[in-house]
Amino acid sequence: MTRILGIETSCDETSAAVLEGSDDDVTMRSLVILSQDVHKVFGGVVPEIASRAHLTSIAPVVTKAITEAGMSLDDLDAIAVTNAPGLVGALLVGVSYGKALAFSRGIPLLGIHHMEGHLFSAALEHRDAVPPFTALLISGGHTLLLDVEAWGRYRLLGATRDDAAGEAFDKVAKLLGLPYPGGRHIEELARSGDPAKFRFGRPMLRKNSTPDDAEHYAFSFSGLKTAVLNAVKASPDIDADKAGIARGFQDALIETLVTKTRRAAAAFGRQRVVIGGGVACNRTLALAMREALEVDGAVVFTPSPRLATDNAAMIARAAFFRYELGERAGLDLGAYATRPIPGLEAA
Ligand code: KG4
Ligand code: ZN
């Protein structure tokens, strides 16, 4: 039985979690997430403020996670910390804390890629959310479509050419005067929107419909964002049109994500689809994905909202896989703003 403490500080959540188990049989014993509300007034994350807030919270958050797991530092076998990608100053807080803790206890340290964490988050709750599967990772910073043959073997099929899916939600929310982060607010507003009033083009769907097309699995959301901006500017009564615009935007984005994921699952003969990242909180998307993939006989796994958005449990979960492979980081472990997921192969 292995016990791993996970630490996540890549953006604006300070999080720690303790997981216990072996192989694909891992139980979450505790999870503490402290979200930094301070960024709301700026309409986006301010890196320097994020680092300072992590510094203030990291020690109590880690202590709370260990206490809630009913353990002490002596019970831990390893420390896993997100070391890429993310805000470097924010990552450094978690990385430094993790290093100090591992060094002082004489236990192994592991550096985990944040997006690999998102890939593992559905597996925390669903026993069958294990490879082989098609994965769609949709967060504030990334949009990745992957074929996952086994843990650690990731074939990149498509990514976004410009804005990430979550970023598109946040930017459109800003255009509509909604709070940051805006994904949740767009989804809520879209519920009361007329689906026929604003129909935006589906980005990169028509032109790239054959598998030999280089952009068959690629995404692009900046054109859709511009279309929304034009609709906002042209509206004579934005309060009356707001919900319809949110609905039109979300429908277009969802149809693109669903179509490309369905293409990938069919092309690789996958019976399982795993969604991860903050945008996986979107229930309208999950429903549309389930309906479409069900027709093909595939099952869709989504993490619950607490595990879909940034958290340390997914980091510790990914670390179980890497720990059992024998991977260990040195005390020279660095923090990186961008870095490919380990085990990533180009399509
Ligand atoms: O994974 P995450 O917590 O942080 C990053 O690693 O970026 O994702 C945050 C993103 C934000 O862009 C937020 O607007 C989006 O997830 N999000 C949603 C919903 N809930 C959160 N997007 C659409 N619908 C939602 N219900
Ligand atoms: Zn994330």
Does residue 199 sit in the same domain as residue 74?
Answer: no
Distance 110 CA to ligand 1 centre (A): 26
Q: Same domain, yes or no, for 248 and 328?
A: no
**Location of structure tokens 């607490």:** 306
- Quick one: pLDDT at residue 263? 96
Mean pLDDT to the nearest integer, 87-91: 98
Q: Are residues 132 and 265 in the same domain?
A: yes
Q: Are residues 87 and 136 in the same domain?
A: no
Q: What percent of the chain stands above pLDDT 70? A: 99
Q: Does residue 18 sit in the same domain as residue 39?
A: yes
In this structure, are 55 and 152 located in the same domain?
A: no
pLDDT at 239 over 80: yes
Instruction: Compute, in angstroms, the gap from residue 267 CA to the centroid of ligand 1.
Output: 28
Alpha helix locations (H) across 106-237? 114-121, 165-175, 183-190, 222-234
From the CA of 164, how far away is ligand 2's center (Å)?
12
Average predicted confidence (pLDDT) for the chain? 96
| For range 150-175, the mean pLDDT | 97
The CATH number assigned to the domain holding 316 equals 3.30.420.40
pLDDT (0 to 100) of residue 121: 98
* Helix segments in 164-311, DSSP class H: 165-175, 183-190, 222-234, 238-267, 283-295, 305-308
Q: By alpha-carbon position, which residue is closest to atom 3 of ligand 1?
A: 309
Give the residue whose CA is nearest to atom 23 of ligand 1: 183
Q: Is the CB of 166 under 6 A from ligand 1?
A: yes
Task: For ligand 1, pick from 14, 120, 169, 283 the residue to mutate: most ligand atoms within 8 Å of CB.
Answer: 169
Torsion angles phi and psi, residue 236, rounded to 5: -75, -20
CA proximity to 130, closest of 272, 263, 4, 261: 272
pLDDT of residue 203: 86
Indicate if the pLDDT at residue 210 is higher than 90: no
Out of 153-157, 161-165, 192-196, 208-212, least confident range: 208-212
User: Rounded to whole angstroms, how far apart are CA atoms 292 and 297?
Assistant: 9
Q: Is the pLDDT of residue 339 over 70?
A: yes
The answer on pLDDT for 212 being more than 90 is no
Contact criterion met (CB below 8 Å) for 182 and 172: yes
The reply to whether 40 and 79 lie within a common domain is yes
Do 97 and 141 sit in the same domain of this protein? no
Exposed/middle/buried for residue 159 (C-beta within 10 Å: 0-12, 13-18, 19+): middle
With cut-offs at 50, 70 and 90, classify the pLDDT of residue 332. Answer: very high
Residues 175 and 214 in one domain: yes
Contact 95, 51 (CB under 8 A): no
**Count of Cβ atoms closer than 10 Å to residue 323 Cβ:** 19
Over residues 264-280, the pLDDT tens digits come to: 999 999 999 999 999 99
Instruction: Indicate whether 43 and 163 sit together in one domain.
Output: no
Host domain of residue 65: 2-119+310-346
pLDDT value of position 317: 98
Confidence of residue 285 (pLDDT cuts 50, 70, 90): very high
Which of 35-39, 260-264, 327-331 is the least confident region?
A: 35-39
Q: How many angstroms does the Cα of residue 11 sit away from the middle of ligand 2?
A: 8
Contact 281 CB / ligand 1 (< 6 Å): yes
How far apart (Å, rounded) are the C-alpha atoms in residues 325 and 188? 43
Question: What would the mean pLDDT of 35-47 be, rounded to a whole number?
Answer: 90
Residue 155 shares a structural domain with residue 245: yes
Q: What is the pLDDT of residues 90-137, one digit of tens each?
A: 999 999 999 999 999 999 999 999 999 999 999 999 999 999 999 999
Q: What element of type H or E holds 274?
A: strand 272-276
Q: Could you tell me which residues are beta bridge partners of residue 345?
A: 155
* Residue 347 pLDDT: 62
Q: What is the pLDDT of residue 184?
A: 97
82 and 208 in one domain? no
pTM of the complete model: 0.96
- Give the chain's largest Cα–Cα span: 66
Token pair in block for residue 205: 């769907």
- What is residue 23's three-state secondary structure? coil
**Per-residue pLDDT, 90:** 98
Give the chain's domain count. Answer: 2
